[in-house]
């Protein structure tokens, strides 16, 4: 079935989850909505077997989950990285609802792998985690109590992806540059901008803020591998001149 194969390219990435039962409940939500790829970054121990209890039949998803030490490691091989956060930041312009996200990404799923990243209970994703995300999804919720339970947040996003995938013919969108290529490009860009004096090596705060804005800008463009090669070529030419 076409829907199933498209959704196979969605990874749900849980970062530093604290409560084992939540991981079980996430697995259940995912299986309900036809998702199967679960990635766990530094998951908690589960002495009471809560993961299995809350998975209620979706244990296989946890058994097959990929375990990672860092978010960066978890994102390898993904072309599009979506963070989830209820908080609004003035720096972020591309914050969408799960529905808008699902409509935009489902046509890409034929040839791209997408990671949706969820943070730990209470604290949510850190700034350094969010910097690795090209877009942010915020689930609209009541101002007085905006934070959802982790597995409920996964369910809302998974449901919208499932509905958007129903009956959507896969568009002929080529593969996008993956997260590792993008990180190499941002490293190169930062080095070049420091070399030519556009970024101040010593002013970390200002430099990181500018790099964050540039990540947003390039993230919105959804570059393909060829676009990244062109940009790297331009940077190499600038490096040569600057020397």
Q: Note the residues at the interface with ligand SAH (CB under 6 A).
A: 84-87, 118-119, 121-122, 124-125, 137-139, 141, 146-148, 150, 153
In the complex, the smallest distance separating the C-beta of residue 92 from ligand SAH, rounded to whole angstroms, is 13
In the complex, the smallest distance separating the C-beta of residue 87 from ligand SAH, rounded to whole angstroms, is 5
Question: DSSP alpha helices (H): ranges in the chain?
Answer: 2-7, 20-32, 50-55, 59-63, 71-75, 98-105, 127-130, 150-165, 179-195, 204-221, 225-242
End-to-end CA distance of the chain: 55
Nearer to ligand SAH, 137 or 176 (CB): 137
Q: What angle do CA 121, 38, 132 make, to 5 degrees?
A: 65
Rg (CA), the chain: 19
CB closest to ligand SAH, residue no: 124
Nearer to ligand SAH, 118 or 218 (CB): 118
Nearer to ligand SAH, 85 or 112 (CB): 85
Nearer to ligand SAH, 3 or 17 (CB): 17
Nearer to ligand SAH, 118 or 162 (CB): 118
In the complex, the smallest distance separating the C-beta of residue 194 from ligand SAH, rounded to whole angstroms, is 32
Rounded Cα distance between 182 and 222, Å, is: 10
Residues 6+ apart with CB under 8 A from 160: 98, 99, 101, 102
Q: 32 exposed, middle or buried (CB, 10 Å; 0-12, 13-18, 19+)?
A: middle
In the complex, the smallest distance separating the C-beta of residue 22 from ligand SAH, rounded to whole angstroms, is 9
In the complex, the smallest distance separating the C-beta of residue 130 from ligand SAH, rounded to whole angstroms, is 10
């Amino acid at each position: 079935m076409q829907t199933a194969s498209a959704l196979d390219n969605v990874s749900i990435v849980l970062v530093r989850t604290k409560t084992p039962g939540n991981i079980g409940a996430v697995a259940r939500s995912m299986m309900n909505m036809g998702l199967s790829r679960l990635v766990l970054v530094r998951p908690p121990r589960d002495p009471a077997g809560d993961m299995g209890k809350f998975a209620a039949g979706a244990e296989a998803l946890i058994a097959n989950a990929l375990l990672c030490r860092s978010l960066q490691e978890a994102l390898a091989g993904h072309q599009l990285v979506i963070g989830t956060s209820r908080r609004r930041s003035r720096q972020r312009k591309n914050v969408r609802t799960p529905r808008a996200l699902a409509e935009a990404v489902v046509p890409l799923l034929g040839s791209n792998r997408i990671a949706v990243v969820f943070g730990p209970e209470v604290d949510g994703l850190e700034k350094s985690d969010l910097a690795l995300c090209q877009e942010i999804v915020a689930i609209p919720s009541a101002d007085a109590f905006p934070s959802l339970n982790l597995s409920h947040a996964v369910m809302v996003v998974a449901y919208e992806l499932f509905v958007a995938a129903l009956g959507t013919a896969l568009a002929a969108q080529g593969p996008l540059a993956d997260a590792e290529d993008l990180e190499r490009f941002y490293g190169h860009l930062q080095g070049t901008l420091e070399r030519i004096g556009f970024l101040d090596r010593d002013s970390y705060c200002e430099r990181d803020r500018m790099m964050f804005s540039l990540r947003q800008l390039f993230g919105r463009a959804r570059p393909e591998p060829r676009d990244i090669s062109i940009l790297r070529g331009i940077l190499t030419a600038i490096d040569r001149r600057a020397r």
